[in-house]
């Protein structure tokens, strides 16, 4: 945990995608105490016209490199941890791969710990 889904415009390099995934992972390690090797990332690339978003919602000027990051996580974090995560993701993504902070949209989906199975048909986070 967590499961990271990243939606972005098609055509980004493998280095760009890796840089973005690693920046998000680093932020999770630093703010959510996620183990470094707990990384599961899915990318969805969209051709022009297949990502529709308001470029000025809430007074934020979004550009063509708009990225949607959805994190499915266990519902065990505080508001302060979530706010720290949001800040750290945009800071690190700005460094590598160079995503403007205004172009990063983050959504957390919180689930109960028993809603995870990492393989073998076992709910690894269930205390027995």
For 25, the enclosing helix (H) or strand (E) is helix 14-32
Q: DSSP letters of 30-61? A: HHH---TT--EEEEEEE-TTS----TTGGG--
pTM here is 0.92
pLDDT at 127: 84
Domain count, the chain: 1
Residue 66 included in any domain: yes
pLDDT at 1 over 80: no
Residue 123 included in any domain: no
pLDDT > 70 in the chain, percent: 100
Residue 126 included in any domain: no
Model pLDDT for residues 46-98, shown as the tens digit of each residue = 999 999 999 999 999 999 999 999 999 999 999 999 999 999 999 999 999 99
- The number of beta carbons lying within 10 Å of the beta carbon of residue 21 is 19
Domain hosting 66: range is 3-115
Mean of the pLDDT values across residues 21-37? 97
Residue 39 included in any domain: yes
The CATH number covering residue 15 comes to: 3.30.429.10
The number of CA neighbours under 13 Å toward the Cβ of 98 is 4
Residue 128 included in any domain: no
């Amino acid at each position: 945990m967590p499961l990271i889904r990243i939606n972005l415009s098609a055509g980004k390099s493998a280095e760009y995608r890796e840089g973005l995934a690693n920046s998000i992972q680093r932020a999770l390690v630093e703010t959510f105490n996620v183990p470094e090797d707990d990384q599961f990332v899915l990318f969805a690339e969209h051709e022009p016209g297949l990502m529709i978003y308001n470029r000025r919602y809430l007074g934020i000027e979004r550009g063509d490199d708009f990225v949607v990051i959805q994190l499915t996580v266990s519902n065990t974090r505080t508001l302060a941890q979530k706010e720290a995560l949001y800040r750290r993701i945009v800071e690190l993504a700005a460094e590598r791969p160079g995503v403007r902070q205004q172009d990063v949209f983050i959504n957390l989906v919180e689930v109960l710990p028993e809603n995870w199975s990492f393989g073998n048909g076992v709910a690894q986070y269930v205390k027995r």
